């Protein structure tokens, strides 16, 4: 019963998640069928198309979108979760901005400062979205923190530019109102355009769905807000508020819908790489443009914006480069390590042998090589299975590594059940002592094996340089291999040494 409990809990969790998705899917169908007609009814019966009733509907629409995005974040992976949460924050800012307008509409004389606060919240609405577009998911988190800080500074610069001609009571003249509308048009076009670019450059289906939802919302909002900002006073139709609120319901529907079937995405190659690499430039370039616009009215702030853009992007580039160097070092290390045993692999062994040969020639000292083979390993694999064989390989690797007393000794997995040990500067006696210690340690560990003696043993062949100036790694390995085969022919579980003429005689120990 205890073994099946985790499976039952997992199945129960999957059932709950499936039910939640089903409820969300039904809610996604109900929202446009219920909320939009209700919003339209309010707009048709309201005496003022931009009065309190319609502002309340717009506030609720953005708040519903925020809730839907927050719900989607809970059922998403780590990278996608952050994106949905950031969109939810943007929706809350927009909802609060309209909420302040609603407060002003409900106050007989209009609450002091509500127009300026609404403008500030509308500016802050764009900050999280710009961060999403400019900060690729795969970048290291310190770089993304810099992106977040730059996005916030960009929002503050944008706000400073707007408040250079917007008073606490609102926009005082037609020219200022037109400039304000154009500024928000630029922000909306910017978000919609780059959301579409990120959608087209998506490298996986989850990312494509996410940016597809964002680009659909941003495009609809851009059109609706543009119409509202430029034509509502000239053609104050009753349903104009619905045009602004509908994109938020669209976003809520896209966030609540069930994910479709998984399908392969076409490879986008260079385009995706260019977008990924170039997206972080959005923030500093935008900051430099806004800083230039602020020079006539606020030169000190403009200089600060330029400095922040330059230093911020420089810091980000440094963090990404450091992360990339770390990843390259990690991959280089992994490419030289045997994944099963954790020992150096054949590639690193070959490099170490070449390096130690050159060092031996410079110093005139000797170089010993041990070739080590697990006895009857094929029988062990066939009888106990490959999983047991892998465990024995790991055990033997650990034993051999523990017998290498000097920091310069290199113990590597040469291939299959065969290991190798490079012993720089070792004399014949020292090399034999290490080899015998390895053989005895493996035997004493008494690892279960179907072979003779019912325990794992190793055979070892030892060789040293014959002529330091002329010898090659290949010749050294051939002599060590020959000594290893002599150990096996002599009955296994022994050390055989092939020493050069003039050194200690060929020796065998069992």
Q: What is the pLDDT of residues 215-247, one digit of tens each?
A: 999 999 999 888 887 776 544 555 678 888 999
State the pLDDT confidence band at 117, using cuts at 50, 70 and 90: confident
Nearest to 105 by CA among 51, 33, 69, 158: 51
Torsion angle, CA of 483/489/493/498, rounded to 10 degrees? Answer: -20
Classify residue 14 as exposed, middle or buried by CB count within 10 Å of its CB (0-12, 13-18, 19+): exposed
- Whether the per-residue pLDDT at 10 is higher than 60: the answer is no
pLDDT of residue 496: 93
* Mean predicted confidence (pLDDT) in 316-327: 90
State the SS3 of 219-249: HHHHHHHHHHHHHCCCCCCCCHHHHHHHHHH
The helix/strand/coil state of 463 is strand
Model pLDDT for residues 49-61, shown as the tens digit of each residue: 567 888 899 999 9
The helix/strand/coil state of 434 is helix
- Whether the per-residue pLDDT at 267 is higher than 80: the answer is no
pLDDT of residue 47: 65
pLDDT of residue 2: 44
State the pLDDT confidence band at 147, using cuts at 50, 70 and 90: very high
pLDDT of residue 49: 57
Nearest to 66 by CA among 16, 125, 11, 106: 125
Radius of gyration (C-alpha) of the chain in whole angstroms: 36
Give the pairing type, strands 495-498 and 458-464.
parallel
The answer to whether 59 and 95 are in contact (CB under 8 A) is yes
Domain spans in the chain, listed from the N-terminal domain onward: 11-259+267-277, 346-509
State the pLDDT confidence band at 295, using cuts at 50, 70 and 90: very high
- Whether the per-residue pLDDT at 166 is higher than 70: the answer is no
Of residues 265 and 397, the one with the higher pLDDT is: 397
- Whether the per-residue pLDDT at 507 is higher than 50: the answer is no
Exposure string of 221-241, with b = 16+ CB inside 10 Å and e = fewer, is bbebbbebbeebeeeeebebb
Of residues 119 and 113, the one with the higher pLDDT is: 119
Of residues 105 and 71, the one with the higher pLDDT is: 71
Helix axis angle, 346-363 to 473-489, nearest 10°: 110
* Mean predicted confidence (pLDDT) in 13-31: 72
The answer to whether 340 and 398 are in contact (CB under 8 A) is no
- Whether the per-residue pLDDT at 504 is higher than 70: the answer is no
The answer to whether 424 and 402 are in contact (CB under 8 A) is no
H helices, E strands: number in the chain: 16, 6
- Whether the per-residue pLDDT at 470 is higher than 70: the answer is no
State the pLDDT confidence band at 175, using cuts at 50, 70 and 90: low
CATH topology of domain 346-509: Alpha-Beta Plaits (3.30.70)
Residue 170: how many other CB atoms lie within 10 Å = 17
The answer to whether 95 and 103 are in contact (CB under 8 A) is no
Q: What is the phi/psi pair of residue 170, to 5°?
A: 120, -165
Distance, in Å, from the CA atom of 447 to the CA atom of 444, rounded to the nearest integer, reads 8
Nearest to 468 by CA among 364, 398, 385: 364
Model pLDDT for residues 353-402, shown as the tens digit of each residue: 999 988 888 877 788 999 999 999 999 988 888 899 999 999 999 999 99
Q: What is the phi/psi pair of residue 497, to 5°?
A: -115, 135
CATH topology of domain 11-259+267-277: Rhopdopsin 7-helix transmembrane proteins (1.20.1070)
The residues, ordered by sequence, that sit 6+ positions from 336 with a Cβ below 8 Å of its Cβ are: 344, 345, 347, 348, 351
* Mean predicted confidence (pLDDT) in 476-484: 92
The helix/strand/coil state of 487 is helix
pLDDT of residue 234: 46
């Amino acid at each position: 019963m205890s073994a099946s409990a985790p499976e039952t809990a997992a199945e129960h969790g999957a059932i709950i998640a499936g039910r939640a998705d089903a409820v969300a899917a039904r809610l996604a169908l109900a929202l446009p069928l219920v909320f939009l007609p209700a919003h339209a009814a309010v707009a048709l019966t309201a005496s003022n198309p931009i009065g309190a009733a319609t502002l309340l509907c717009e506030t609720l629409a953005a708040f519903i979108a925020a809730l839907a995005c927050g719900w989607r974040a809970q059922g998403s992976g780590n990278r996608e979760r952050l994106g949905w949460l950031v969109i939810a924050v943007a929706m809350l800012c927009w909802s609060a901005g309209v909420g302040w307008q609603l407060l002003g509409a409900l106050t007989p004389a209009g609450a002091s400062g509500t127009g300026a606060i609404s403008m500030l919240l509308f500016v802050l609405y764009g900050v999280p979205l710009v961060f999403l577009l400019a900060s690729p998911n795969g970048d290291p988190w310190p770089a993304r923190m810099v992106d977040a800080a730059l996005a916030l500074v960009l929002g503050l610069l944008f706000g400073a530019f707007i408040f250079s001609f917007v008073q606490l009571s609102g926009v005082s003249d037609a020219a200022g109102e037109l400039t304000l509308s154009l500024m928000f048009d630029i922000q909306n076009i910017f978000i919609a355009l780059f959301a579409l670019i990120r959608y087209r450059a998506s490298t996986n289906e989850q990312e494509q769905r996410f940016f597809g939802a964002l680009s659909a919302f941003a495009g609809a909002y851009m059109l609706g807000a543009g119409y509202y900002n430029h034509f509502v006073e000239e053609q104050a139709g009753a349903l104009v508020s619905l045009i602004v609120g509908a994109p938020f319901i669209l976003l809520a529907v896209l966030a609540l819908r069930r994910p479709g079937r998984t399908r392969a995405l076409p490879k986008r190659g260079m385009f995706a790489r260019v977008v990924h690499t170039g997206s972080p430039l959005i923030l500093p370039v935008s900051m430099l443009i806004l800083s230039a616009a602020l020079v006539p009215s606020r030169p000190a702030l403009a200089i600060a914006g330029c400095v922040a853009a330059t230093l911020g992007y420089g810091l980000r580039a440094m963090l990404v480069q450091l992360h990339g160097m770390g990843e390259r070092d990690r991959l280089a290390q992994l490419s030289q390590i045997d994944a099963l045993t954790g020992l150096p692999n054949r590639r690193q062994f070959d490099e170490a042998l070449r390096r130690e040969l050159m060092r031996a020639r410079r110093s005139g000292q000797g170089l010993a090589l041990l070739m080590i083979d697990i006895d009857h390993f094929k029988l062990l694999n066939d009888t106990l299975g490959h999983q047991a064989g892998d465990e024995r390989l790991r055990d033997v690797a650990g034993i051999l590594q523990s017998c290498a007393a000097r920091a310069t000794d290199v113990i590597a997995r040469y291939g299959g059940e065969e290991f190798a040990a490079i012993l720089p500067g070792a004399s014949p006696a020292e090399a034999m002592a290490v080899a015998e210690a390895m053989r005895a340690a493996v035997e004493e560990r008494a690892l279960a094996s179907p072979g003779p003696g019912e325990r794992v043993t190793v055979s070892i062949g030892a060789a040293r340089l014959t002529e330091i100036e002329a010898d090659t790694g290949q010749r050294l390995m051939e002599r060590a291999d020959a000594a290893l085969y002599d150990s096996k022919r002599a009955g296994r579980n022994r050390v055989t040494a092939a020493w050069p003429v003039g050194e200690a005689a060929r020796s065998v120990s069992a």
